[in-house]
Amino acid sequence: MTTASPSSCAVSSSLAVVLLALLLAAASASAEKETHLRFYWHDVMSGPSPTVARVAEAATTNASATSFGAVYVMDDPLTEGPDLASSSSKVVGRAQGMYVCAGKDSLSLLMAMTFVFQDGSAYNGSSVAVVGPNQAAMAVREMAVVGGTGAFRFARGYCQARTYSFDAKTGDATVEYNVYLRHN
């Protein structure tokens, strides 16, 4: 067993202070949070109160198999469960923004929307901004999260969309979104 001299004690305690400072700096750098959100997005085209409207198109859009050039504006409800009509599917927010049929030869939407969280969500008043390609016929589509507000300030990340149901006759769609975020 060795006994430390007073001077080696002083050296080791100043080393400890430096180490503590480094640890604190590392801790504040990694104070960034990770959040995973999951909800269902409802694009309602039919019925008395559609949540999406086609607002523009090109002269050639109607002749295009992929509706190239069509522009839609949405205010789509986001719910906890997949069934919009069910009372167990609490509305947690809205997807407000637009999508554009941007694929000339394949079905591909450009999504530009904010997920605006409301009463019923733990993130009431906060939002997440999403921009990205949505090849709607694919099983999984990935889009970028480019920012956020409120609880999601400085957010970045990605989301994955999976079609839950699609009615080809009405155009109504329900899509599961999983959002993976890093933020302050």
Enumerate binding residues for ligand NAG (CB under 6 A). Answer: 57, 59, 62, 119, 124-125
Instruction: Provide the Cα torsion 39, 93, 158, 101; round to 10°.
Output: 100
Give the Cα separation of 45 and 51 in Å (integer). 7
Are 15 and 34 within 8 A, CB to CB?
no
Q: How far is the CB of 119 from ligand NAG (least distance, A)?
A: 5
Comparison of 92 and 109: residue with beta carbon closer to ligand NAG: 92
Comparison of 127 and 174: residue with beta carbon closer to ligand NAG: 127
Comparison of 32 and 119: residue with beta carbon closer to ligand NAG: 119
Among the listed residues 70, 121, 69, the one whose alpha carbon sits nearest the alpha carbon of residue 95: 121
Q: How far is the CB of 126 from ligand NAG (least distance, A)?
A: 9
Q: Which are the contacts of 140, defined by CB distance < 8 A and separation ≥ 6?
A: 160, 161, 162
CB atoms within 10 A of CB 25: 10
Q: How far is the CB of 63 from ligand NAG (least distance, A)?
A: 8
Are 45 and 172 within 8 A, CB to CB?
yes
Q: How far is the CB of 45 from ligand NAG (least distance, A)?
A: 13
Comparison of 107 and 131: residue with beta carbon closer to ligand NAG: 107
Q: How far is the CB of 52 from ligand NAG (least distance, A)?
A: 15
Q: How far is the CB of 138 from ligand NAG (least distance, A)?
A: 26
Comparison of 12 and 60: residue with beta carbon closer to ligand NAG: 60
Comparison of 57 and 80: residue with beta carbon closer to ligand NAG: 57
Are 148 and 158 within 8 A, CB to CB?
no
Give the Cα separation of 143 and 131 in Å (integer). 6
